[in-house]
Amino acid sequence: MDKDSKNSISILIANYNNGHFFKDCYESLLAQTHQDFEVVILDDCSTDNSVEVIKSIIGNDERCKLFENEQNRKIGYTKRKLVELATGNICGFLDPDDTLTPNAIEKVLNAYQNNTEVGMVYSNFILSDDNLKPISIHKAKQVSSLDSLEYYNFDGEISHFATFRKDIYIKTSGIDPYLKTAEDKDWYMKMCEVAPVKYLDEDLYLYRVHDGGISTNKNGDKAYFWHWVALIKMAERLNINIEDLFLEKFVRKEQFESLERKLEGQKQIIHRLKKNRWIRLGNKLGFIKMFKNL
């Protein structure tokens, strides 16, 4: 592959124990309308038979290159290494348990050709169940400045299908190998800091929700923690104070408001009970012992 070609793209896949999902992932690449790509897969010492499964699926496809970490190094290190292994100047991450829509690569490459100044192109994703049945569409947003909430990416304003120019990426410190999850939040912010980014309002990525996902379901709170680690590092880079932002977001606003609504509803019920004349009469007659606790 010509690494300087405008049409060259490297699809980067970090795998850990997700080989059983890889067939869907690979078949979505075979279905692409644009077939000039390479696939770089790096297995992070899976404890299942992922490597054997992936080898059997890719067969003799010369576009696919499979590598293995010498020991389990987690997602930050693995994705950073994938970028180093890529030969295309445009790179895009695809998780092994997810898939792309057939026109995803073509749409992304067209966006780069029409917006030569941008360093990153990203799109919407289709939230899907364990069997890749669509549930809902997650809409991303355009990030235009570093002092906007969109830049902090609390609500997935930048998300899948996220791609970048490698010659712009190397102007940053790269993906942080220390981060165990939310490593994408980290490099999204870094890319915003060095070049304009482009939101492509297209649904190009199917994101599978399952118990093994590193940032979904039971792992959501861990991902939230590592997101804040990335934000603190960002604040150090830009020499800004995010203390107020932390205090605002630390207690999740939606959870707090939901609890507040429940408590207010309970107060109203108790208030109505206290005013009910039959309950008041029952209390006077000694029939309702709980009245004094209301």
- The verdict on residue 4 lying in a domain is no
Same domain, 236 and 264: no
- The verdict on residue 79 lying in a domain is yes
| SS3 of the chain | CCCCCCCCEEEEEEECCCHHHHHHHHHHHHCCCCCCCEEEEEECCCCCCHHHHHHHHHCCCCCEEEEECCCCCHHHHHHHHHHHHCCCCEEEECCCCCEECCCHHHHHHHHHHHCCCCCEEEEEEEEECCCCCEEEEECCCCCCCCCCHHHHCCCCCCCCCCEEEHHHHCCCCCCCCCCCCCHHHHHHHHHHHHCCEEEEEEEEEEEECCCCCCCCHHHHHHHHHHHHHHHHHHHHHHCCCCHHHHHHHHCCHHHHHHHHHHHHHHHHHHHHHHHCHHHHHHHHCCCCHHHHHC
Same domain, 18 and 140: yes
- pTM here? 0.79
Q: How many domains does the chain have?
A: 2
- The verdict on residue 1 lying in a domain is no
- The verdict on residue 232 lying in a domain is yes
Same domain, 235 and 280: no
Same domain, 150 and 273: no
Tokens linked to 67: 């590598």
Domain termination residue (choose one: 203, 225, 242): 242
pLDDT 10s per residue in the chain (294 long)? 344 444 489 999 999 999 999 999 999 999 999 999 999 999 999 999 999 999 999 999 999 999 999 999 999 999 999 999 999 999 999 999 999 999 999 999 999 999 999 999 999 999 999 999 999 999 999 999 998 889 999 889 999 999 999 999 999 999 999 988 889 999 999 999 999 999 999 999 999 997 755 555 567 778 888 898 999 999 999 998 888 887 777 655 566 567 667 777 666 666 665 565 555 555 555 555 544 455
Same domain, 104 and 168: yes
Same domain, 137 and 255: no
Tell me which residue range forms the domain holding 259.
251-293
Question: Among all chains, which residue has been given the structure tokens 């093994």?
Answer: 212
Question: Among all chains, which residue has been given the structure tokens 């309702």?
Answer: 288
Same domain, 194 and 269: no
Same domain, 76 and 160: yes
- The verdict on residue 284 lying in a domain is yes
- The verdict on residue 150 lying in a domain is yes
What is the structure's pLDDT at 210? Answer: 75
Q: How many of the other CB atoms lie within 10 Å of CB of 288?
A: 16
Q: What is the C-alpha to C-alpha distance for residues 91 and 214, in angstroms, rounded to an integer?
A: 21
Same domain, 192 and 64: yes
What is the structure's pLDDT at 274? Answer: 57
What is the structure's pLDDT at 3? Answer: 43
Tokens linked to 81: 């290494």
What is the structure's pLDDT at 128? Answer: 95
Same domain, 27 and 162: yes
The contacts of residue 269 (CB under 8 Å, 6+ apart) are none
Tokens linked to 39: 């696939």
